[in-house]
Amino acid sequence: MTGKPGGGDSPVSGRRGEIDRATSLIESARNLVIFTGAGMSAESGIPTFRGEDGLWQGYRPEHLATPEAFERSPEVVRSWYRWRRDLIEKVQPHRGHQALASWCLHSGKKSCVITQNVDGLHQRSGCPDVVELHGSIRHDRCHRCGQRALDLDAVFCSCGGPLRPGVVWFGEPLPEAAVDRSLEQIDDCDVMVVIGTSAVVHPAAGMVFRALEIGASVIEVNPAPVLPAPVLHISGTAKEILPRIFSTGSVNGENPA
């Protein structure tokens, strides 16, 4: 393992068979879909909803990320999102993001990233095709008319409605266009790589099982894998594993760096 990212004695060596199988599946894919959850961003320093670091000023995130919370206490919700935006601005995509983006850009294969994350780290790393299932924290939208707003300091829309983060909250439907695009890509894929998701937030999590239902090969990268057989499980973090399974060098017949 000397020369591989992570050092010669990396515990990844004990998963070499799974990593080699995943790399082979990715190399042979006709249309690859990558599905990412909060664990993908956590290694860049972004707290997860369900992690121990998810608490903010005594609030649980799931108690703030609802239309009812915004209607009841809009300034509290806006303050939480200002804190989250400030945090996101200070972090960078990690080497797992970068390896994935490089592969999507240079492998010459058809691919699409579907993410539950709202932080934009995939786009910042250079991924060319990203579907944001839960919207984006990088812009606001009107809670009344839905119009998008880029001025994050504004409080009200031109229609008079209150501006809120452009994300999907608990109890709200996913954006129809994002769902349609995701299902179109999944129904045409032959390999899906699932990274850092608990697979419990529906309906987004159902897309992973849809890939299994259509017969696609599914690879899960997670510190504690959660998906059922016949998924190929690789126990590990995105930062640790993705540089090994997404290598443009291996696609070109070279040894992965």
Q: Catalogue the active-site residues.
A: 134
Bridge partners of residue 162, in order along the sequence: 156
- Please list, in sequence order, all residues whose beta carbon lies within 8 angstroms of the beta carbon of residue 37, skipping any fewer than 6 positions away: 115, 116, 117, 194, 195, 196, 197, 198, 199, 201
H or E stretch at 85: helix 74-90
Question: How many Å apart are CA 179 and CA 14, to the nearest integer?
Answer: 37
Check: CB of residue 205 under 8 Å from CB of residue 197: yes
Q: Which long-range contacts (CB under 8 A, 24 or more apart) does 151-160 make?
A: 152/85, 155/78
H or E stretch at 142: strand 135-142
Q: Sheet with 217-222: list strands edge to edge.
A: 130-132, 110-115, 31-36, 191-195, 217-222, 232-235
CA distances from 253 to 13, 27, 99 (A): 21, 10, 17
Question: Which class for 226: exposed (0-12), middle (13-18), buried (19 or more C-beta within 10 A)?
Answer: middle
H or E stretch at 102: helix 95-106
User: DSSP letters of 210-221?
Assistant: HHHHTT-EEEEE
